[in-house]
C-alpha cells in the first residue's frame, strides 16, 4: 500500500519549492530562521560539491582537498554556526551532549557580537574546537594532515558566511 503525501506537504516537490521560496524571501527581507539557515548551508554545500567535482575532473584539486572543503562547508554551516553563542539553537543541539563544550564560548560571546563577524568569528570557533582536537592528534602522534586541513578551514568559512548572509549581516554594515 502506497503512502499518500498531501499536495504541498513537506515531502512533495511543491512543498520543497515553497520552503525554498520562503528561504529566499527571508534572505532578501530580513533575518533567517534556523531552517532557512540550514537550507542555505545545504544549497551552498551542494554547489561546492558540483564545483569540486569539476575541479577534480579538470585536475585542479585533489580528492582529499575537495573532500576537506566540502566537509568544511557542511560542518561550518550546520555545526560551527555563528549561533553557537546560544545553546538553545539548532547548531548547538546538533552537538548532543557535547553542546556543553560550547558553554564557555557562549558565555564569552554575546549573540550577534564577535561570533557573527566575517573573519574573526569563524577563526575563533576553529581555534576553540581545533585546540582540543590538535591536542588529541598530538597525543595519538597523528601525522599526515596536509593541505586538506586548510581546505577544511576554507570550507568552514564559506559555511559560516552563508549563515551571516542569511542574517543580512554584511562585513561592510
At 11 the pLDDT is: 58
At 5 the pLDDT is: 40
Instruction: Give the mean pLDDT of 106-111.
Output: 86
For residue 113, the Cα-to-chain-centroid distance in whole angstroms is 18
At 64 the pLDDT is: 85
Q: What is the CA radius of gyration of the chain?
A: 18
E strands in the chain: none
Instruction: Give the mean pLDDT of 130-152.
Output: 68
Reported confidence tier of residue 20, pLDDT bands at 50, 70, 90: low
CA terminus-to-terminus distance, the chain: 55
At 166 the pLDDT is: 83
Instruction: Give the mean pLDDT of 98-116.
Output: 87
At 78 the pLDDT is: 92
Q: What is the pLDDT of residues 53-104, one digit of tens each?
A: 999 999 888 888 888 899 999 999 999 998 888 889 999 999 999 999 999 9
Cβ neighbourhood burial of 74 (10 Å; 0-12, 13-18, 19+): buried
C-alpha 43/C-alpha 33 separation (Å) is: 15
Cell of 46: 551542494
Contact in structure between 75 and 98 (CB atoms under 8 Å): no
Cell of 124: 575563533
Reported confidence tier of residue 145, pLDDT bands at 50, 70, 90: low
Q: Name which residue leads in pLDDT, 35 or 139.
A: 35
pTM above 0.75, yes or no: no
Q: Which range among 16-20, 25-29, 104-108 has the greatest average pLDDT?
A: 104-108
Cell of 68: 576537506
Amino acid at each position: 500500500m502506497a503512502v499518500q503525501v498531501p499536495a504541498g506537504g513537506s515531502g512533495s516537490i511543491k512543498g520543497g519549492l515553497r520552503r525554498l521560496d520562503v528561504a529566499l524571501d527571508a534572505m532578501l527581507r530580513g533575518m533567517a530562521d534556523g531552517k532557512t539557515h540550514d537550507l542555505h548551508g545545504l544549497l551552498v554545500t551542494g554547489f561546492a560539491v558540483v564545483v569540486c567535482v569539476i575541479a577534480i575532473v579538470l585536475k585542479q584539486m585533489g580528492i582529499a582537498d575537495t573532500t576537506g572543503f566540502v566537509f568544511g562547508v557542511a560542518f561550518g554551516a550546520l555545526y560551527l554556526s555563528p549561533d553557537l553563542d546560544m545553546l538553545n539553537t539548532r547548531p548547538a543541539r546538533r552537538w548532543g551532549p557535547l553542546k556543553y563544550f560550547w558553554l564557555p564560548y557562549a558565555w564569552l560571546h554575546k549573540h550577534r557580537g564577535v561570533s557573527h563577524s566575517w573573519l574573526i568569528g569563524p577563526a575563533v570557533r576553529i581555534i576553540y574546537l581545533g585546540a582540543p582536537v590538535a591536542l588529541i592528534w598530538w597525543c595519538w602522534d597523528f601525522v599526515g594532515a596536509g593541505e586538506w586541513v586548510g581546505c577544511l578551514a576554507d570550507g568552514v568559512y564559506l559555511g559560516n558566511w552563508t549563515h551571516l548572509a542569511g542574517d543580512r549581516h554584511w562585513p561592510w554594515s
